Structure 1
Amino acid sequence: MYIEPKELLLKMKEHDFVYDTKVGKMVNKKYEEDKAYVFKILDLLYENFHRVRFVYDLSESVIGKGKWAVLISQKFAVADKRIPIPTVPFHLQYDGKINISIMAKHSYFMLIGFFQELDDEICVSLNFKNDEYRKIYKKLVENQTFV
């Protein structure tokens, strides 16, 4: 199966997130708002795809010093299978600072400012639980066929 790299951003919206679980709803009282804003972020990235670089690793050695990055993870895709607790399904890294506790709503507004005020690219890591999409994403990142 071939999927345009840009379309992977929209494919992420088709899957359940931690926000859809009982634990996710219990831990995060604003889960509906957070999920809606994660989807808005995916749309924003889609609209600005010419400035998106897909990566697997958000470390400084991969994305560069002081860069911006977003991680969006499908339900339980980043959970340690030995501990059945979902990990953070979304986080924003800005100016090289990692912030996993920032709300998706605030991140969305920061990203609007990023795209309006800066000319930099943004690194995006999509973590699919679905094996097929995970393989497609891995192949894209390894081959850099989207550049």
Structure 2
Amino acid sequence: MSIEPRELLLKMKQYEFVYDTKIGQVMNPKADEDKEYVLKILDLLYKNFDRVRYIDDMGSKYTGKGAWAVMLSQKFALLDKRIPIPQVPFHIKIDGKNDLSIKTKHAYLMLVGFFKESDNEICVCL
């Protein structure tokens, strides 16, 4: 079964995220809020799909220098593929710099501004 890339953004909303798991809820007391904003980010990317470029890796080689990129994962978002545990279900790169500490709520608000204030594309890794 193949799915159109744009529809994949909507399909992502139907699956279990690490926020839904017991370990996800223990490790992140704001798991429900984070999941809510991840879903909003998926909607935002869907609405601005003409400016979305899918990538397989968050490295600068794939995103480009100074680019914005977002990685979303249903269950596993591995920064280091050698460690098979859920590490970061949401990851954003702003102006080419990784920011692992930013909450999804703040990232959502920044992405709203990004789409309003710039004409640049955003890289997305699902």
Q: Structure 2 length as normaliser, TM-score?
A: 0.92
1:125 corresponds to: 125
Following superposition, the deviation at residue 87 of structure 1 comes to 1.1
Q: Matched residue pairs, number? A: 126
Range with bigger deviation, 37-46 or 11-20: 11-20
Mapped to 2, the partners of 1:60 and 1:83 lie a distance apart of 21
Residue ranges of structure 2 left out of the alignment (5+ in a row): none
Match of 1:70, SS state, is strand
1:104 corresponds in structure 2 to: 104
Query: What letter is aligned with 1:46?
Result: Y
**Structure with bigger gyration radius:** 1
Residues 1:93 and 2:93 aligned together: yes
Q: Which ranges of structure 1 fall in alignment gaps of 5 or more residues? A: 127-147
State the shift of 1:110 in Å. 0.2
Report the AA paired with residue 104 of structure 2.
A
- Describe the shift of the 1:113–1:27 C-alpha distance in structure 2 as closer, same or farther (beyond 3 A): same
C-alpha separation in 1, matches of 2:105 and 2:53: 22
CA distance in 1 between partners of 2:121 and 2:79 (Å): 28
| Corresponding residue of 2:40 | 40
Runs of 4+ in 1 over 2 A off after TM superposition: 76-85
Q: Distance in 2 between matches of 1:79 and 1:70?
A: 12
Distance 1:56 1:106 in 2: 24
What amino acid does structure 2 have at the position aligned with 1:49? F
1:25 is aligned to: 25
Alignment of 1:11-22 (within 5 A): 11-22=11-22
Deviation at 1:62, TM superposition (A): 1.4
Q: State the alpha-carbon separation in 2 of the partners of residues 46 and 18 from structure 1.
A: 21
Deviation at 1:85, TM superposition (A): 3.3
1:71 equivalent in structure 2: 71
Deviation per CA, 1:14-50, whole angstroms, max 9, x where unpaired?
1111101111111111100000000000000000000
Alpha-carbon spacing, 1:5–1:32, altered in 2? closer, same or farther (3 Å): same
